[in-house]
A and B are shown apart, each in its own frame.
Chain A
Amino acid sequence: MNQNGRFSQVFNILFCAFMLAPIVVVMGVSLTPEGFLEFPPSGISLRWYQAILDNPDFIEAAWISLKLGIVAATVASVLAVPAALAIGQGKFKGREALQALFLSPLMVPTVVLGIAFLRFLSLFGLNGTFTGLVLCHAIIITPFILRLVLAAVVGLDRTVDRAAESLGASNWTIFRRITLPSILPGVIGGWVLAFITSFDELTVTVFIVNPATTTLPVRMFSHITQTTDPLVASVSALTVIFTIILMVAVDRMYGLDRLLIGEGKK
Chain B
Amino acid sequence: MNEKPWMMSAPALTLFGVLLLVPLCMTFFLSFNSFGFYTGIENTVSMENYAEVVSDSYFWEIFGRTFAIALATTFFCALLGVPQAYILYRLSPAWRSIVVLIVIGPLLISVVVRTLGWAILLGNNGVINSALQNWGLIERPIKMMYTSGGIVLALTHVFLPFMVLAVWAALQRKDPAVEAAAESLGARPFTIFRRIVLPQVIPGILSGSLIVFSMAASSFATPAILGGRRVKVVATTVYDEFLNTLNWPLGAAIAMLLLASVMVIMLAWNRLVERRYGEALE
Contact = CB atoms under 8 A, between A and B. Distances in A.
Contact of A1 (B15, B92, B118, B160): B92
Nearest to A105: B20
A111 B235 CA distance: 6
Given A19-B102, A22-B114, A257 B121 contact: no
Interface string A10-46: 0110011011111111100100000001010000000
A109 B127 contact: no
A150 interface: no
A29 B120 contact: yes
Given A224-B112, A260-B165, A23 B80 contact: no
A15 B110 contact: no
A220 B105 contact: no
Given A135-B15, A139-B15, A224-B119, A119 B27 contact: yes
Given A98-B9, A260-B165, A261-B165, A18 B157 contact: yes
A79 B117 contact: no
A8 B87 contact: yes
B75 to A, nearest CB: 16
Contacts of B54: none
Nearest to B25: A116
Contact of B4 (A90, A108, A244, A263): A90
Contacts of B221: 202-203, 217, 221
B105 A118 contact: no
A202 B12 contact: no
Q: Interface SS of chain A: helix, strand, loop or mixed?
A: helix
B interface bracket (residues with beta carbon within 8 Å of A): 35 or more
A239 interface: yes
A78 B10 CA distance: 12
A85 B11 CA distance: 13
Interface residues of A, number: 88
A73 interface: no
B8 A86 contact: yes
Interface in B108-153: 108-121, 123, 127
A167 interface: no
Contact of A23 (B19, B95, B106): B106
A202 B112 CA distance: 8
A197 B107 CA distance: 10
13 contacts: A4-B87, A12-B84, A16-B102, A19-B161, A37-B123, A80-B12, A86-B8, A101-B13, A109-B217, A119-B27, A199-B110, A203-B220, A233-B120
Interface of A: 1-5, 8, 11-12, 15-16, 18-26, 29, 37, 39, 78-80, 82-83, 85-87, 89-90, 92, 95, 98, 101-102, 104-105, 107-113, 115-120, 123, 135-136, 138-139, 142, 193, 196, 199-200, 202-203, 206-207, 217, 220-221, 224-225, 228, 232-233, 236, 239-240, 243-244, 246-248, 251, 256-257, 260-261, 263
Interface of B: 2, 4-6, 8-9, 11-13, 15-16, 19-24, 26-27, 30, 80, 83-84, 87, 90-92, 95, 97, 99-121, 123, 127, 154, 157, 160-161, 165, 168-169, 189, 214, 217-221, 224-225, 228, 234-235, 238-239, 242-243, 248, 251-252, 255-256, 258-259, 262-263, 266
User: What are the 10 A-B residue pairs with the smallest beta carbon separation, nearest first?
Assistant: A22-B117, A109-B218, A86-B5, A120-B23, A116-B23, A90-B5, A86-B8, A79-B12, A82-B8, A200-B110
